[in-house]
Amino acid sequence: MRNIHFAFYALFFCLSIGCNIGSSTTEELSAILQINENHRTAHMNGDADLFVSQMADTITTIQDGQVYINSRQDTYNRFSTYFNRVKYAKWDDTQPPSVRLSPDGKMATLIAQKEIQAGMVSESEPIKYDTSQWAWMASFIKDNDEWKLYAISSGKAQ
């Protein structure tokens, strides 16, 4: 009876944290978390190349009640322009991101909450940083053994 309880709690624990049974789970979770860290680096350094380097050819974005479908090149163009106008002082997780893998290990979801300090670049004034809270859910697909971001839904706290 005790073994049944242990098995139940072990299964409950795995399901509650989204783990999969298998030797590569830790590596897969680490790879998704690394993309999150790369996106932080891209924002802090204004690096549009790094930002889109781990994106699928087509990215679906849900924001402000709208659905946008853009190519990786369109996303690069948008963020290249954006990173020239905006600088970041902070793009930090307010709690550890949650990552879940699909049972077949070919899809993953990351849920993140961030505190962001960003300001518009001005030639005439120092940057005035505003602080905001953001949350999002990013979906990834494994393509040729590489994780690619293919969809994201985000929102800013009011």
> So where are the chain's domains?
2-156
Rounded distance, CA 77 to CA 86, Å?
A: 14
5 phi, psi to nearest 5 deg: -65, -45
pLDDT in tens, 15-32: 444 544 444 789 999 999
Q: Which of 28 and 6 is assigned the larger pLDDT?
A: 28
Entry field: residues in the chain: 158
Rounded distance, CA 38 to CA 72, Å?
A: 16
Predicted local distance difference test score (pLDDT) of residue 24: 73
Banded pLDDT at 58 (limits 50, 70, 90): very high
Banded pLDDT at 103 (limits 50, 70, 90): very high
Regarding pTM above 0.85, the answer is: no
**DSSP label of 149:** E
CATH topology of domain 2-156: Nuclear Transport Factor 2; Chain: A, (3.10.450)
